[in-house]
Amino acid sequence: MQNRMMITGAGSGLGREIALRWACEGWRLALSDVGEEGLKQTLAMVREAGGSGFIQRCDVRDYSQLVALAQACETQFGGIDVIVNNAGVASGGFFAELSLEDWDWQIAINLMGVVKGCKAFLPLLEQSKGRIINIASMAALMQGPAMSNYNVAKAGVVALSESLLVELRQLDIGVHVVCPSFFQTNLLDSFRGPTPAMKAQVGKLLESSPISAADIAEYIWQQVARGQFMILPHEQGRLAWHLKQHDPQALYDEMASMAEKMRAKARPGQS
Which residues belong to the active site? 150
> Which residues lie below 8 Å from residue 265, measured CB to CB, with a gap of 6+?
197, 201, 271
Closest CA to 61 of 4, 110, 123: 110
Instruction: Over range 3-17, report the average pLDDT.
Output: 97
Tell me how crowded residue 99 is: count the other CB atoms within 10 A of its CB: 11
pLDDT in tens, 198-245: 545 544 544 555 688 999 999 999 999 999 999 999 988 888 888 889
The amino acid present at 73, given as its one-letter code, is C
pLDDT at 120 over 50: yes
pLDDT at 183 over 90: no
pLDDT at 192 over 80: no
The answer to whether 107 and 163 are in contact (CB under 8 A) is no
Q: How far apart are the first and last CA of the chain?
A: 57
Separation of alpha carbons 112 and 8, rounded Å: 13
Helices (H) and strands (E) in the chain, counts: 11, 7
pLDDT at 12 over 80: yes
pLDDT in tens, 33-58: 999 999 999 999 999 999 999 999 99
Q: Where are the domains of the chain?
A: 4-234
* Average pLDDT across the chain, whole number: 89
Give the predicted TM-score (pTM) of the model: 0.90
The answer to whether 174 and 130 are in contact (CB under 8 A) is yes
pLDDT in tens, 129-173: 999 999 999 999 988 889 999 999 999 999 999 999 999 999 999
Confidence tier at 67 by pLDDT (50, 70, 90): very high
Instruction: Over range 188-194, report the average pLDDT.
Output: 49
Separation of alpha carbons 197 and 262, rounded Å: 10
Confidence tier at 184 by pLDDT (50, 70, 90): very low
Q: Where are the alpha helices (H) located in 129-212, listed in sequence order?
A: 139-142, 148-168, 196-208
CATH of domain 4-234: 3.40.50.720
SS3 99: coil
